[in-house]
Amino acid sequence: MPPRPRLTAALRRQVAARAGYRCAYCRSPQRVGIPMVVDHILPLALAGSSQMENLCLACYRCNELKGARIAGPDPTDAQMTRLFHPRRDTWGTHFLWQADRVTLAGLTPVGRATVTALRLNASWVLEARQLWIVLGLHPPFED
């Protein structure tokens, strides 16, 4: 396997700024101290490129849980479905904050498969979102 191409610091900064310093999947804010990484939406293992169109900012947790996957089962019918594509999909089309403002609902098969695959409603994440509400950091205004 060829060596992983290194992303330049300038490219990483560009990806972070474009994302508004939030994870493209769970929308967690970088400013609360969550390590963020640049995610290859189509993984390098599946011949994804390191061009801006294939890159997004992701929290370390989402990036780890996504791994080299691009699909997962929709929990309503177990059908394999592609995961959310931060550059081609609109976040609000696939996800919605529930009335409690901490639980994320998948509105579409893509949204539900992504919520499940990336465990976007893990208990400790819900607890963190409750604290972020108190700090005025959640939910993101643009969502």
- Among the candidate windows 55-63, 82-90, 122-130, 134-142, which touches Zn ion by CB under 5 A? 55-63
Conformational region of residue 4, where left means phi above 0, alpha means psi within -120 to 50, and beta covers everything else: beta
Residue 83 binding Zn ion, by CB under 5 A? no
25 binds Zn ion (CB under 5 A): yes
Rule CB under 5 A: say whether 23 interacts with Zn ion.
Answer: yes
* 3-state SS, residue 133: helix
Whose Cβ is closer to Zn ion: residue 15's or residue 62's?
62
Write down the least CB distance from residue 23 to Zn ion, Å. Answer: 3
Q: Is 62 an interacting residue with respect to Zn ion (CB under 5 A)?
A: yes
H helix or E strand, kind and range, residue 95: strand 95-97
Cα angle 72-7-82, degrees, rounded to a multiple of 5: 15
> What is the rounded CA–CA span in Å between residue 133 and residue 115?
20
Is 59 a binding residue for Zn ion by CB under 5 A? The answer is: yes
Q: Is 26 in the site for Zn ion (CB under 5 A)?
A: yes
- CB atoms closer than 10 angstroms to residue 61: 20
- Binding residues for Zn ion, rule: CB under 5 A, are 23, 25-26, 28, 59, 62
